[in-house]
Structure 1
């Protein structure tokens, strides 16, 4: 039987969380489950210093897919979840479909943390039809383009960020520049992975794998088929390095200069710096030009499952981690770009210089890219699975020699299975 404990934080009911778990030294333990890089390690230490009665335990998964598989498995089992669970946008629709298993943060969170702190489209995506806020927005992924200046110069292409804009004006101009590049620089591809290019193109559309009625439209959406044709044709012309994203070979590809361009949502800067290493500092550049105008790729939320052992304290921690000041510091640490309006207007963000990328004012660059995003693409129930587990492998099979039309049919069939 659950027993409501009297705490200094107001709790409206037993369902809002109990006294939580205690460590051996008597502190209250809050668990936070994340994936990839959120930039929270130093922030956790600061929060613990300010709240000596709290111990934060991070459960960190290297990739998004296993993290979310674990999340949904434990939701089904009814136990085992962390007090705070991170959710990536591609999986948010599955969480929203199970919104009854998550707390409404407008009820259990700090009263002054309201949805209007965030970009409207960011908060709306985590708000149910009956106006329950399921997640506090962490980062977003405004799109820019990263490229190797030295390799561009070797190919006789312009290499200054202002001069390369014409190359990245449209996808047609991007692939045309790729044809010029692969004909000039031996052993180096134009881009890293067909799936990475396809994902960026796909995320620019108003309608993606699902329409707003959550009907799967993979086969009938002409934009998806057009993207597929453009990317697979570029593969056939030798533009892809054929490296699966986040694989060991892909990581090594940055270090060895296996490709010249990289689609760059803001969080990708930290990935490039980590994988390319100090020996490539100054070789990579980022420009605010992006084919067909930009878009958003990525971004996450912090949720508090009803399984949380101390929901009010978990919500307070999540609110603090997503506050403007902490969002800016996470960006400075790992390149995760803020989604709160005050953070986007903060001088510390706008004047932030990324020394690895030739001292570019990365904060101001991506803040400008945010303005090009008017709404987030609707993500349907199996959106994340279709992107990672269907189209990623299907495009990789093309890179390995499978006929594009055969791979397309396989992708459609697998997407239909995932959507059931």
Structure 2
């Protein structure tokens, strides 16, 4: 059934290509464009149609399976002068390091098609793709709007509400979320409320007006009281037994999903597929999702298409990147890969709004994440080193608290560790 659906989606996309893609720039000579991506972008079915409507143009997609090695290679080439593709995909977690080298990329606002306006995207998605000096470095592809996923059976056993409407009160703020977690731990005789302190803390930090770095790329940890408050809040929850102390996406975290080791999970749109795969068929219908997230909205994930300044065909590359990030193509990518679109016009698509997830009890997941995407505010500035602080300093520090270390003492070690990343 899934293969039939994919095939029908391709046919619909191809018809659309024939009708609309011909409006791109003329290609009087034979040109080959390289498109470097990672993971699943859902573009494989689209490329032949674009080539068909652009005689003389060939698109060669080079796909790396894992995002980690892909971005290590990209950043090494930027630093050492290696050969880049005509179009380079960049995941939002690595975007700060790319924006810090904006001079090595084409300004898409100048080179891209004139009819591609900022209003194509959610405002926060568009703005996050711009450098400090205003250059548009990337066209937005997908996003990861945040909702909260939870185990209905575990909440019910603890005497907590389970229907999506009622749980919104519990998930309204981080205060109410951790208060519910304290009740859950007591009523369930010590079972964990969430999987990982690092997962929750990362979401909390991303909601703040200022994160780990200010716009001068200096650490804010010693003066940013909101950061310290978030640290105190999540580590207090750890000391109450609310964290399962697992590592997301590692063996223990995946096993925790299978055995029901925790009751709630920070849940960007793409996490639904992760939960279904790792929790397994035996837990189908036990998980639910609601269009609520503590303190409003947030985003975790999503990518951009950039055009390096080294491309000899920057105008043609920008036209292809613009076309791939148009609402029609991003809806196709959603159908075949599950990547949630960032384009405003896509949010009124019947395909998106009628998307129903049987594993999560028939939840209208498309509507849930459209609502959550529209709650995200102004993008937080992320300077170079932001991701490294989270991955190499904060996450290990929170793991040590989960293993029994004193939060106040660990915070002092965090300050020392951040100074090594950002002198």
Does the CA contact (< 8 Å) of 1:212 and 1:378 recur in 2?
Answer: yes
Partner of 1:255: 258
Alignment equivalent of 2:378, drawn from 375, 379, 388: 375
1:129 CA displacement: 5.3
Q: Which residue of 1 aligns with 2:63?
A: 59
**Number of equivalenced pairs:** 395
Which structure's residues are more often helix, by fraction?
Answer: 2
Contact 2:192/2:244 (8 A) holds in 1 = yes
* Unpaired stretches in structure 1, ≥5 consecutive residues: 1-6, 12-18, 21-27
Deviation at 1:365, TM superposition (A): 1.6
2:362 to 354, 359, 374: 359
TM-score (norm 2): 0.85
The residue that corresponds to 1:9 in the other structure is 27
| Preserved CA contact (<8 Å) 2:33 2:86 | no
Task: Give the Å deviation of 1:192.
Answer: 0.8
1:175-215 Cα deviation digits (max 9, x unpaired): 12212222333674211110001011111111111223433
Q: In the alignment, what sits opposite 2:246?
A: 243
- The 5 Å alignment of 1:252-401 reads 252-308=255-311, 310-401=313-404
Shift of 1:61: 4.4
Deviations 1:200-232 (A, max 9, x none): 111111111122343320221011111111111
Counterpart-to-counterpart distance in 1, 2:100 and 2:418 = 19
**Which residue number in structure 1 is paired with residue 85 of structure 2?**
82
Per the alignment, residue 205 of structure 1 pairs with 208
Asked if residue 195 in structure 1 is aligned to residue 198 in structure 2, the reply is yes
> Closer, same or farther in 2 for the Cα pair 1:191/1:294, shift >3 Å?
same
Does the aligned pair in 2 maintain the 1:9–1:312 contact within 8 Å? Answer: no
SS of corresponding position for 2:323: helix
Aligned-residue CA RMSD (Å): 2.5
1:118 aligns with 2:121: yes
| 1:34-73 pair list within 5 angstroms | 34-35=38-39, 38-40=40-42, 43-51=43-51, 54=58, 56-64=60-68, 66-73=69-76
TM-score, scaled to structure 1: 0.86
Match of residue 108 from structure 2: 105
Distance 1:97 1:204 in 2: 22
Task: Determine if contact 2:194/2:243 at 8 Å carries over to the other structure.
Answer: yes
- Pair 1:411-2:414 in alignment: yes
- Quote the offset at 1:162 in angstroms: 0.9
Q: Counterparts of 2:67 and 2:257 in 1: how far apart (Å)?
A: 18
Q: Could you tell me which runs of 5 or more consecutive residues in structure 2 were left unpaired when the two chains were aligned.
A: 1-24
Q: Following the alignment from structure 2 to structure 1, what is the Cα–Cα distance between the partners of residues 334 and 240?
A: 37
Q: Is the 8 A contact 2:147 2:293 kept in 1?
A: yes
Counterparts in 2 of 1:416 and 1:236: CA distance versus 1, 3 Å: same
Q: Give the whole-Å Cα distance in 1 for the aligned partners of 2:191 and 2:329.
A: 39
* Higher alpha-carbon deviation: 120-129 or 73-82: 120-129
Corresponding residue SS for 1:136? strand
